[in-house]
Amino acid sequence: MSEQQKPSTLNNGQNYAVGYGRPPVHTRFQRGRSGNPKGRRKGQRNVRTIVDETSNQRITIREGDRSRSVTKLDAVVLTIFSAALKGDAKAQASLINLLRASGMLGEPPAANDQKPFTADDESIIADFLRRQGSEVQQPTENNDKEKDKEGPTDTTPSEPRTKS
């Protein structure tokens, strides 16, 4: 199908073809006038603004026989602390997350998953290697003393041993 192009006239009297990407002159935005004259409503608030304002509102709380005024955010933190001290596991987890997020706790230490070998472990490994056909030399005091007299041994065959 062929597109039909209608002629239109510019302000200076020239004709041009109306079509895709070329709207008629009378429907174009006027110079000096906004395409959205009313614009965004003033005072329209986003979620962060609402949360900030709400968390900074003051409320009155009772502690024992006295009352005091605190912000809602302070009241939430006090509630989490008191519940965590009473032994509430969820409150304790929330408190730890809150402290980490605020930078008051460092990163948790890396867990040391490597456990030392016991005599049972060594005997199981020796038995396994014996059944597989490998010889395992059990460390004894005599072997340790002989190795100390010989000096350090290099177990990496790829690098030649050099004297220093």
Amino acid at 153: T
DSSP 38: S
Is the per-residue pLDDT at 1 higher than 50? no
3-state DSSP call for residue 123? helix
Q: Which tops the pLDDT comparison, 153 or 31?
A: 31
Lowest model confidence (mean pLDDT) among 2-6, 19-23, 72-76: 2-6
Q: Which tops the pLDDT comparison, 125 or 6?
A: 125
**How far is CA 82 from its chain centroid?**
28
3-state DSSP call for residue 30? coil
User: ∠ CA(67), CA(71), CA(73), 5° rounding?
Assistant: 125
What is the per-residue pLDDT for 91?
Answer: 94
| 0.75 surpassed by pTM | no
Half-sphere exposure of 115 (CA within 13 A, CB side): 4
Domain range annotation of the chain: 47-101
Per-residue pLDDT reduced to its tens digit, 68-94? 999 999 999 999 999 999 999 999 999
